[in-house]
């Protein structure tokens, strides 16, 4: 690092660190005070509501005390008690409700359609068994229970603070409640105000930081700083990546030739030599030589197939002749024969909106994805989808394999070379790669935006 670069760094670094520390302290203090204020208001409000609900239930029990203490539990007495409770209300959304201990609704003045229905297994949007929890609270001596319920005035699901008690002589659960959307609204206003204040403060700090950085940058311009070295370094890194990619491709081609074609040719050579020797013998030897040459011809067919496979890997002619969809369909069929993993391929839309280079990029990504699945995923099924519209062309590859930790792969320079190659290929044509992986499988989505409208379909 040059001296003038060090000077600018030493000027900017302490300034940015100080502003960041100030911003962190201010933000932490503001959030802490806001949370404290919110908790205090919520605690005081809920305490008052709990006492209010308890008084309401006490008044309700007193209104039917003459019936309950009489010892009668005949239908007429119970209906009279329910009629008294149904008339007790406070406001549009204040009412009493009655259930038996099996979850049957016996009285509900605001939702009469519930009367006579068993709501024991009813769940709210969060999956909570509301009636079971209320009955359990009543059996344990009564008290406060918070849950979600439809608000009669708005017909919307809202949080509710309920108070329930048990009437064991009649097998009833009696309760009432207050909807808490008003307190939630007040608390949300407090949160919004605190958040606005924090954002405003952060904007001021950011503005100060930007102005300070600009001032230092202008001072740096006076020193005529140049970024040629940075650009040269980037070019060197890019050149190294190109050379590395070429060497990796050559190494793969060399392995294919050595492990496949070379071994087949050596075997064929030995069999031909053996067949020539057998031709010099009798009729039995000649028949054996014929069998040897037939086996050799069969092996030559395998060699030709291997040559075609390597040729397809280098540059599939079908990609230029019939397009990306046909090339991918051919690739999946060859892959099923080669790897034995079922692949479900589908294509819709068109690829006229992207360049030939972009088509090649998507084809290479499909090859790399299938190679990674075969090597690491232990998958039993693969789904490949190609979709194109007027905005973009996307390729999706999903498998049901073991998955992997994406963050761990990205953070390890010696692993995930294939994934980095995919990202670099897509970035070169303006695309992007999304990757999700878990223990149930991996999903890869490569998207390239269109440069012109697409009209022709794949099939």
Instruction: Note the pLDDT tens digit of each residue in 90-149.
Output: 877 889 999 999 999 999 999 999 999 999 999 998 899 999 999 999 999 999 999 999
**Half-sphere exposure for 73 (CA within 13 Å, toward CB):** 7
pLDDT attached to residue 142: 92
Helices (H), 315-416: 317-321, 324-339, 356-372, 406-411
- Higher pLDDT, residue 154 or 60: 60
Could you tell me what percent of the chain has a pLDDT over 70?
Answer: 81
Residues whose CB falls within 8 Å of the CB of residue 344, separated by 6 or more in sequence, listed in order:
381, 382, 383, 384
Question: What pTM did the predictor assign?
Answer: 0.39
CATH topology classification for 322-449: Heat Shock Protein 90 (3.30.565)
Instruction: Note the pLDDT tens digit of each residue in 237-246.
Output: 666 666 666 6
Q: Ranked by mean pLDDT, which of 14-28, 85-99, 133-147, 354-368 comes out on top?
A: 133-147
Q: Check if the beta carbon of residue 390 is closer than 8 Å to that of residue 427.
A: no
Ranges of each domain in the chain? 3-45+186-222, 91-179, 228-311, 322-449
Nearest to 300 by CA among 272, 266, 275, 265: 265
- Domain 91-179 classification at class level: alpha beta
Arithmetic mean of pLDDT, 243-256: 66
Given CA atoms 270, 275, 276, 280 in this order, what sign does their dihedral have? positive
Arithmetic mean of pLDDT, 308-334: 76
pLDDT attached to residue 279: 73
pLDDT attached to residue 459: 31
User: DSSP state, 400?
Assistant: -
pLDDT attached to residue 200: 82
Nearest to 382 by CA among 367, 393, 392: 367
Q: Check if the beta carbon of residue 398 is closer than 8 Å to that of residue 383.
A: yes
- β-strand pairing of 143-151 with 156-167: antiparallel
- β-strand pairing of 343-348 with 382-388: parallel
pLDDT attached to residue 458: 35
Nearest to 298 by CA among 326, 322, 264: 264
């Amino acid at each position: 690092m040059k001296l003038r670069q060090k000077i600018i760094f030493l000027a900017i670094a302490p300034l940015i660190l100080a502003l960041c520390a100030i911003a962190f302290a201010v933000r932490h203090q503001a959030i802490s005070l806001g949370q404290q204020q919110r908790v205090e208001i919520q605690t005081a409000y809920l305490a008052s509501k709990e006492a209010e609900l308890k008084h309401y239930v006490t008044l309700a029990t007193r209104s039917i005390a003459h019936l309950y203490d009489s010892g009668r539990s005949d239908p007429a007495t119970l209906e009279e008690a329910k009629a008294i409770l149904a008339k007790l209300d406070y406001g549009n959304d204040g009412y009493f409700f009655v259930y038996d201990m099996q979850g049957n609704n016996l009285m509900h003045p605001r939702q009469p359609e519930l009367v006579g229905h068993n709501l024991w297994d009813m769940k709210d949007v969060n999956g909570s068994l509301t009636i079971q929890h209320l009955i359990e609270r009543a059996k344990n001596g009564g008290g406060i229970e918070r849950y979600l319920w439809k608000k009669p005035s708005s017909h919307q699901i809202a949080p509710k603070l309920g108070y329930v008690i048990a009437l064991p002589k009649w097998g009833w659960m009696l309760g009432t409640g207050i909807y808490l959307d008003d307190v939630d609204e007040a608390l949300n206003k407090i949160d919004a105000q605190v958040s606005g204040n924090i954002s405003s403060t952060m904007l001021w700090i950011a503005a100060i930081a930007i102005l300070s950085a600009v001032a230092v940058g202008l001072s740096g311009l006076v020193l005529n700083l140049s970024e040629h070295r940075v650009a040269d370094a980037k070019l060197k890194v890019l050149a190294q990546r190109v050379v590395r990619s070429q060497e990796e491709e050559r190494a793969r081609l060399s392995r294919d030739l050595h492990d496949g074609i070379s071994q087949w040719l050596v075997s064929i050579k030995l069999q031909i030599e053996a067949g020539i020797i057998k031709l010099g013998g009798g009729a039995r030897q000649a028949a054996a030589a014929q069998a040897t040459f037939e086996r050799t011809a069969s092996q030559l067919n395998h060699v030709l197939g291997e040559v075609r496979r390597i040729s397809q890997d280098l540059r599939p002619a079908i990609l230029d002749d019939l397009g990306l969809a046909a090339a991918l369909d051919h690739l999946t069929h060859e892959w099923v024969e080669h790897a034995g993993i079922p692949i479900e391929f589908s294509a819709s839309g068109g690829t006229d909106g992207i360049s030939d280079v972009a088509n090649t990029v998507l084809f290479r990504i499909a090859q790399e994805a299938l190679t990674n699945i075969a090597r690491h995923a232990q998958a039993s099924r693969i789904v490949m989808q190609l979709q194109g519209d007027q905005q973009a062309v996307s390729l999706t590859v999903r498998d049901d394999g073991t998955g992997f930790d994406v963050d761990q792969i990205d953070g390890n320079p010696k692993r995930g070379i294939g994934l980095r190659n995919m990202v670099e290929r897509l970035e070169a044509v303006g695309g992007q790669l999304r990757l999700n992986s878990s223990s149930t499988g991996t999903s890869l989505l490569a998207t390239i935006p269109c440069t012109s409208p697409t009209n022709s379909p794949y099939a």
